[in-house]
Amino acid sequence: MATGPGPRNTAPLPSSFDENADFYNENTIDKIWRRFREEPLVPLGCGLTVWAIVGATRSMRQGDHKMTNMYFRRRLYAQAFTIAVLVAGNLYWKKDRMKRKDYEKMVAEKDRMDKRGRWLKELEMRDEEDKAWKDRMAKRTRGATEEAKGVTDLVAEKTKELKDQVVNGK
């Protein structure tokens, strides 16, 4: 009776290319809205700068040099406001960003350890499967040698019987 090595393990292999869900949780739009909620004055400063540039462009086309200079000064103030808001927001949110980075590191470490644990479990399962297969093969080999040994013993016994019959029969 020749059977195969046994059922194959059909579980998927752990991979270093497993999808990292945390990486994909925040898309670009979500990030923009989060940053807008964190620092709502920065887009306001950008909007004021665009408004000043558009106003300067219109006044240049009309040939009004006084208004053009005024819009350029407003553009300068709007850009200074935007930079000041960026710096202030960065200082204000610095602690939160550090906490977020620490949290993300902690989550990444936990995920890495979970992945490592799954990988080790898979390796242990494969090792057990390999040992079981080797044991089955060893038993099969021992069974074949015991059968061969049994046949040899039977031939030897039969030969001895025939010799005894020949010797006693003469």
Statement: residue 4 has pLDDT above 70: no
Q: In which band, very low, low, confident or very high, does the pLDDT at 1 lie, cut at 50, 70 and 90?
A: very low
pLDDT at site 23: 45
pLDDT at site 143: 72
Mean pLDDT of the chain: 82
pLDDT at site 64: 92
pLDDT at site 147: 67
Report angle CA 88, 93, 86 to the nearest 5 degrees: 30
d(CA 22, CA 108): 9
- Which of 7-11, 101-105, 110-114, 148-152 is predicted with the least confidence, judged by mean pLDDT? 7-11
CA quadruple 80, 82, 84, 86: dihedral positive or negative? negative
With CA atoms as reference, report the closest residue to 22 among 143, 104, 87: 104
Using DSSP's 3-state secondary structure scheme, residue 96 falls into helix
Token pair, residue 60, equals 């240049």
Q: In which band, very low, low, confident or very high, does the pLDDT at 75 lie, cut at 50, 70 and 90?
A: very high
pLDDT at site 10: 63
Q: How many CB atoms lie within 10 A of CB 109?
A: 10
**DSSP per-residue letters across 145-161:** HHHHHHHHHHHHHHHHH
Q: In which band, very low, low, confident or very high, does the pLDDT at 66 lie, cut at 50, 70 and 90?
A: very high
d(CA 99, CA 25): 18
Question: CA 38 from chain center: how many Å?
Answer: 29
